[in-house]
């Protein structure tokens, strides 16, 4: 049954991907002059670029190598360019439709339409490339975000807690040794009491993580109260048990629908990702089950990768929930979609007596590009009362 579901899902995704690329290709061919010397080569170059990502995903599973890395990097950059080519073509086609009803084109465009199309084609190409390059630089420039929170509960002798939070690291081919080492250095520079990873530490396939020995970087993390994580949807996509085993071998303790009393001061709870049921056939526990039997008069901090159902969190007396998953859209204008889906797409919110923080993440999925937000490590300082 799962194989059938995968084949159906894969077929739908590939069909949509092919349709988008054909739409862009068709409009590009309309803009390229018929007498251009490179017009005959354009279809082959376009086909190579558009198929690189699919080829890369297949190669990674049968022959993980520098060749698969090349196809991966070409493919993911094409994904970023494809987004902005698609947006540009849609805007142009909408303008064409409006022009049929109400003439809006200036005279210099209307008088020499073939030349105008070619100039627009070149302008879109240049702007898309500049946008993706700028987004690539931005994606590799994480910042430290400072958050201060007051929790009105007694934490025993502990009056303050210093948390370093990271989410959506997506370690693998794209987030390799350099970026993983940089994350570890940034976290250690904060000198936190505890380090938390709110899911998607691994980007689906564990093989590149093992190949680059990224776990050795994680071993360099230092925090007196420990380093903890929860599963995200990408751990489940790639195989949660293998990912969890690898991370725990390298010093990361994974909380899976469980709670832990830390230093006789506060409880740390970790939920399985909400996609657990779809990938494992077993649903995750409800919050009530996870928190049953704990002393709710003590502070309760919970990690849940996907930021849904805040009201349930508030009703169960959780003081702080930390999440990720959204990437805040990662590429503009997808942030408007994540804002519509999630109560918090990125940032802080207090609801009732519960504090929520949703991180934009450290890494990313697909294009190694961020437009409209920056990757982050979150430096959270909590005062208990």
Both tokens of 90, joined, read 């849609």
Q: What is the pLDDT of residues 297-319, one digit of tens each?
A: 999 999 999 999 999 999 999 99
The whole-number pLDDT of residue 68 equals 93
What is the reported pTM? Answer: 0.92
Q: Which CATH architecture has domain 144-384?
A: 4-Layer Sandwich (3.60)
The whole-number pLDDT of residue 114 equals 77
Residue 137 dihedral angles phi and psi, to the nearest 5°: -60, -45
Question: For residue 380, is pLDDT > 80?
Answer: yes
The whole-number pLDDT of residue 281 equals 85
The whole-number pLDDT of residue 109 equals 64
The arithmetic mean of pLDDT across residues 99-107, rounded, is 74
Please count the other Cβ atoms lying within 10 Å of the Cβ belonging to residue 183.
Answer: 24
The whole-number pLDDT of residue 22 equals 96
pLDDT higher at 239 or 149 = 149
Q: What is the pLDDT of residues 2-58, one digit of tens each?
A: 567 667 877 888 899 999 999 999 999 999 999 899 999 999 999 999 999 999 989
The whole-number pLDDT of residue 111 equals 63
Which of 64-68, 98-102, 215-219, 291-295 has maximum average pLDDT? 215-219
The whole-number pLDDT of residue 357 equals 98
The whole-number pLDDT of residue 293 equals 87
For the chain, the 3-state helix, strand and coil shares in percent, each to the nearest 5, are 50, 15, 35
Domain locations in the chain?
A: 2-138, 144-384
The arithmetic mean of pLDDT across residues 322-332, rounded, is 97
Question: In sequence order, what E strands does 246-375 have?
Answer: 253-254, 258-262, 266-270, 300-303, 320-323, 347-351, 354-358
Integer Cα distance of 313 and 43 in angstroms: 53
The whole-number pLDDT of residue 107 equals 65
pLDDT higher at 8 or 269 = 269
Both tokens of 296, joined, read 């709710």
The whole-number pLDDT of residue 102 equals 82
Residues 310 and 356: beta-carbon distance below 8 Å: yes
Q: What is the pLDDT of residues 169-220, one digit of tens each?
A: 999 999 999 999 999 999 999 999 999 999 999 998 899 999 999 999 999 9
Q: 368 falls in which pLDDT band (50, 70, 90)?
A: very high
Question: For residue 142, is pLDDT > 90?
Answer: yes
In terms of Cβ atoms closer than 10 Å to its own Cβ (0-12, 13-18, 19+), residue 73 is middle
Q: Which residues 6+ apart lie within 8 Å of 236 measured at CB?
A: 273, 275, 276, 278, 279, 280
State the average pLDDT for the chain.
Answer: 93
The arithmetic mean of pLDDT across residues 93-122, rounded, is 79
Q: What is the pLDDT of residues 110-134, one digit of tens each?
A: 666 678 888 889 999 999 999 999 9
């Amino acid at each position: 049954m799962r194989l059938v579901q995968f084949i159906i899902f894969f077929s739908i995704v590939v069909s949509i991907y092919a349709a988008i690329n054909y739409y862009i290709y068709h409009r590009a061919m309309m803009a390229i002059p018929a007498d251009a010397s490179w017009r005959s080569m354009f279809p082959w170059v376009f086909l190579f670029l558009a198929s690189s990502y699919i080829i890369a995903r297949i190669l990674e599973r049968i022959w993980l190598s520098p060749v698969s890395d090349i196809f991966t990097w070409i493919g993911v950059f094409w994904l970023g360019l494809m987004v902005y080519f698609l947006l540009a073509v849609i805007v142009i086609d909408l303008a064409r439709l409006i022009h049929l009803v109400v003439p809006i084109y200036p005279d210099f465009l209307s008088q020499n339409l073939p030349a105008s199309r070619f100039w627009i084609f070149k302008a879109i190409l240049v702007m898309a490339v500049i946008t993706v390059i700028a987004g690539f630089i931005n994606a590799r420039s994480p910042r430290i975000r400072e958050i201060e929170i007051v929790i009105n509960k007694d934490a025993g002798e502990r009056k303050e807690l210093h948390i370093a939070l990271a989410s959506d690291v997506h370690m693998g081919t794209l987030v390799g040794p350099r970026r993983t080492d940089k994350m570890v250095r940034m976290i250690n520079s904060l000198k936190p009491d505890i380090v938390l990873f709110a899911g998607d530490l691994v980007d689906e396939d564990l093989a590149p993580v093992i190949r680059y020995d990224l776990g050795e970087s994680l071993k360099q993390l230092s925090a007196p109260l420990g380093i903890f994580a929860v599963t995200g949807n990408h751990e489940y996509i790639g195989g949660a048990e293998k990912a969890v085993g690898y991370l725990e071998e390298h010093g990361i303790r994974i909380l899976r629908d469980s709670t832990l009393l830390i230093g006789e001061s506060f409880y740390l709870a970790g939920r399985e990702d909400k996609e657990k049921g779809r990938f494992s056939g077993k649903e995750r526990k409800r919050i009530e089950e996870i928190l049953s039997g704990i002393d709710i008069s003590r502070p309760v901090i919970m990690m849940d990768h996907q930021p849904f159902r805040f009201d349930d969190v508030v009703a169960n007396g959780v003081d702080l929930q930390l999440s990720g998953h959204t990437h805040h859209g990662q590429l503009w204008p997808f942030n408007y979609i994540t804002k519509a889906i999630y109560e918090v797409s990125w940032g802080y919110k207090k609801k009732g007596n519960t504090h929520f923080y949703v991180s934009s993440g450290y890494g990313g999925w697909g294009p190694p590009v961020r437009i409209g937000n920056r990757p982050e490590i979150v430096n959270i300082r909590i005062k208990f009362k």
